[in-house]
Structure 1
Amino acid sequence: MADAPAPEQTATPDQPANRSAPALRDIKQVSDGWIKKYELTYTMPDGSPYTYEAVSRKGLDAYRKELERAGTGTQQADAICIVPRTADDELVLIREFRYPLNSWCIAFPAGLIEEGEDLRECLERELYEETGYGFHLIDGKPKFHPLPQSGYSSTGLSEESVQVVFAFVKKEREPKPEPSEFIEVFTLPIADVPSFLEHNTTPIGTRCQLILESFARDARNELQRCR
C-alpha cells in the first residue's frame, strides 16, 4: 500500500507554510561610512551557498545582533515617522530635499531615534526640529498612538525599521532643521487628501503615500454618506 501523502501545509497570519528557509552563515563588511555595505552568506535549503548584498547604518557587531534577533519579537525601531494631526483636522506634512533622489519629496516628519531616547522624547524632538509643532495637550496630556510594531523601510536592501506614530499637535515655534536639511512645512486638510493624491506630481515616499490613502478613503466614505 502506498504511503498516504503528507498533509499540505497552509500559511497562517503569523506563520509561513514552508518553514524551510536559508540559514545565515557569515556576515562580511565590505565598506564603511555612515552607510555600510555587507555581504551576507547563506546556506540554502538544498545545501548550496548564496551571497546577498545589503546595507545598514549599524556597525558589524550591532548589525549581526539585529539579524540574529530578527523575527523573534524583540525588534527595536531605528527611526520614527510621525503623522501629525491638528485640532482643525489638518495633517502636517513636509517637502524635503532628498539627496538620493536629487529632488524634493513629500513625506511626514521623521528621523532616527538617538541613543538613550524613548519614543516620546524622539517624537517631541523631531516634531520641533522639522516642523515647529509640539503636542496638543488633551486633558493636560499629550495624545499620541504608535502602531503595534515598527515596519521595515526597504526589506530588499536594509534592516532599518521605522515606528509610525499618530499624534495630535499644535504650532508652537519655528522649525530648526539641520544645516543640511532643506524642509518646507505645509498643512493639508484631511478632506482635501483625495484631491492632493490625484494631482500631486512631487515625488512621495511610499509610507506617506499609503497613510494618506487611508485618510483619503475615510474622506471619500464621508462624502458618500453625505450624498
Structure 2
Amino acid sequence: MSTAPAPKQTPTLHDIEQVSDGWIKKYNLTYTLPDGSLYSYESVSRKGMEAYRRELERAGSGAQAPDAICIVPRTAEDELVLIREFRYPLNSWCIAFPAGLIEEDEDLATCLERELREETGYGLALVDGTVKYHALPQAGYSSTGLTEESVQVVYAFVQKKREAEPEPSEFIEVFTLPIADVAAFLEGNTTPIGTRCQLILESFARDARNELQRC
C-alpha cells in the first residue's frame, strides 16, 4: 500500500489560548519549532477548548471522526442534485452540494438522510432493493490554513420524496444537473462555487469527456 513519506521535522504544539467565544471560536496556537523557537498561529474552530485540544493532540493518529458531511446525490436519470445557497460570509449565492454538520452521536447514514431531507427534499433511493451510497475512505479538511473542521464526502443514489425543510435563516434553491452537461455548466457558470463542489463536478466532466472519446 502506497503512503506519503513521513515528515523529517515537525513543530510541536506548546500551548492553546482561546481568544474569543461564540459559535465560531478563535484560538492562538503556540508551537515549538524544530530549532527550539516559539511560533504563534491564529486558528478558528466550532469546538470548545477541551474538545479542540483533544482534536489537535489526536491529529495524525488515524482516529478521525468527521465534523460534517458533503453529499453528492445522483438520480436514476443520471442527474446530480445541487443547491444554490446564500452564504453570509460571501454576501452571495454559492453553488454547492448538500452539506451540513454531523450532530452529536449521529451516525453517517442518519446524517445523510437528514441533510438530504432538510436541504433538498430528496432521500436515499433503492437500487436493486437496497439503499446505495459510498463514503470516501477518509474525511478531508475544509481549510487547513484556518480550521481543523473535517468533511466526509458521500456519493449517494437519491430520489425526490418531499419538499425541502430548510431553517428560516437558510436560503436554498435546489436544481438538477445532467451529468452530460457538467462540463458546459462549469464553463459557463459565474456564480461563486465551493472548491469541493468544483473539483467533484470536474471529475464527472472528465468521465463524460473520456466516455465520448471512447465512442
Q: Tell me, in whole angstroms, the C-alpha distance in 2 between the residues paired with 1:162 and 1:134.
A: 20
Q: Which amino acid aligns with 1:216?
A: A
Say whether residues 1:222 and 2:200 are aligned partners: no
1:14 aligns with 2:30: no
Rounded to whole Å, the distance in 2 between the matches of 1:181 and 1:134 is: 19
- 1:32-81 residue CA offsets vs partner (Å, 9 max, x unmatched): 00000000000000000000000000000000000000010001100000
- CA deviations 1:164-202 (Å, max 9, x no partner) are 000000000000100000000000000000000000000
What pairs with 1:30-109 in structure 2 (closer than 5 Å)? 30-109=19-98
Amino acid at match of 1:14: A
Match of 2:15 in 1: 26
- Describe the SS at the equivalent of 2:143: coil
Q: Which amino acid aligns with 1:163?
A: Q
Question: Out of 102, 108, 113, which is 1:119 matched to?
Answer: 108
TM-score, length-scaled by structure 1: 0.93
- SS of corresponding position for 1:121: helix
Q: How far, CA to CA, are the matches of 1:31 and 1:39 in structure 2?
A: 10
Question: Number of residue pairs matched?
Answer: 214
State how far apart, in whole Å, the 2-side matches of 1:210 and 1:134 are: 24
Structure 2 CA distance for aligned equivalents of residues 130 and 140 of structure 1:
25
Shift of 1:224: 1.5
Q: For residues 86-118 of structure 1, give each alpha carbon's deviation from its aligned partner in whole angstroms, at most 9, with x where no partner exists.
A: 000000000000000000000000000001100
Q: Which moved more, 1:21-30 or 1:136-145?
A: 136-145
Q: CA deviation at 1:140?
A: 2.4
Output the CA distance in 2 between the equivalents of 1:79 and 1:51: 27
Matched letter for residue 84 of structure 1: P
Q: 2:157 aligns with which of 130, 149, 168?
A: 168
SS at match of 1:174: coil
Q: 1:212 aligns with which of 188, 201, 204?
A: 201
Aligned amino acid, residue 3 of structure 2: P
| Aligned counterpart for 2:174 among listed residues 185, 198, 213 | 185
Q: Which runs of 4+ in 1 moved over 2 A?
A: 12-16
TM-score by length of 2: 0.98
CA-based RMSD: 0.8
Per-residue deviation, 1:223: 1.5
Aligned residue for 1:149?
Answer: 138
Secondary structure (helix, strand or coil) at the match of 2:162 reads coil
Q: C-alpha displacement at 1:13, in angstroms?
A: 3.1
The answer as to 2:149 corresponding to 1:129 is no
